[in-house]
Amino acid sequence: MKKLQKGDHIRVLSPSASIAHLGGFEANISAKERLEKLEFKVSFSSHYFENDLFESASIASRVEDLHEAFLDDSVDAILATIGGFNSNELLPYLDYDLIAAHPKIICGYSDSTAFLNAIYSKTGIKTYMGPSYSSFKMIEGQEYQTRMWLQALSQTSYELVPSEQWSSDAWFLPDEPRHFFPTKWKVYAHGKASGTIIGGNLSTFSLLRGTPYAPQPDKYILFLESAEGYPPEIIARELAAILQAYPRPEAVLFGRFPKECEMTPEIFNYVMAKHPILKTIPVMYDLDFAHTQPLFTITIGAKATVDTKAKSIVIDEKIN
């Protein structure tokens, strides 16, 4: 699969929530301008402005937009507008043979977990969990976020490093006050491990359990995170379900929980202690992953090598 280069054409589409969910096209125009300043061409899908009762588009429209983007030889990369709640609706209707025949970069986060893991599972094509289109209108923290996005999409081997500071404020409201704190990646259980990256948003990844779209690599590392609005007892329930579906991870790496989750260190340790395996494998948490800002980008389906003593995470796309 071709890696991203300056001058490449990025197609923006909405597999989940529409641009209307974020205030409309003009409210997000700065994201387009930032991508163009990075020397990318930006276009939008045929049904980009469709908006229904759930601030999304019909299944047929979203599937058509994805197929059209993969079939268009001028498109080098596909970028989701934002997450949402319903991209798993698309999975039975996607033409995975078509996608496999026209492999290209596809990136998103949050609800994008569903189709990113499904495409990897059904085709073997590696996908990217990182900023969405609308993420590029964020101002503070954008240098780190963009740098980590570019390294993942343009290199076949790269290392994840912590941001300098993080925020759990509404990134999609750039005029609102922001509060930043020093970043510190933390370790629950030490060790070294390697495995294939799968996972993403806890609740969305849980939707794949028992379906043909759940990836099943032999050795896997789970990257997991939760969105705003999910309290610790729901996070604990979803984690238990994932560890039942994926009972032998080589390591588990947790993204930083948004402030709305009210996940304290005491509660986190309590939840971790429910699962004996998490004391026997490398477990890191408070990583720059998903619903706090800024966020790094990872490659679903690539090999990750973790060393908790060094707090090192190296990703190699050349090795499955």
Active site positions, annotated: 110, 225, 291
Q: Tell me the residue length of the chain.
A: 320
The widest CA-to-CA distance across the chain, in whole angstroms, is: 51
Distances (CA, A) of 225 to 104, 123, 184, 207, 255: 25, 24, 16, 14, 5
| CA gyration radius, the chain | 18
Rounded Cα–Cα distance for residues 236 and 231 (Å): 9
Distances (CA, A) of 303 to 11, 128, 180, 196, 253: 27, 13, 31, 4, 14
Residue 295 is classified by DSSP as -
Look at strands 127-129 and 77-80 and give their pairing: unpaired
What's the burial of 115, exposed, middle or buried (CB within 10 Å: 0-12/13-18/19+)? Answer: buried
With vertex at residue 240, the alpha carbon angle to CA 267 and CA 192, rounded to the nearest 5 degrees, is 80
Residue 218 is classified by DSSP as S
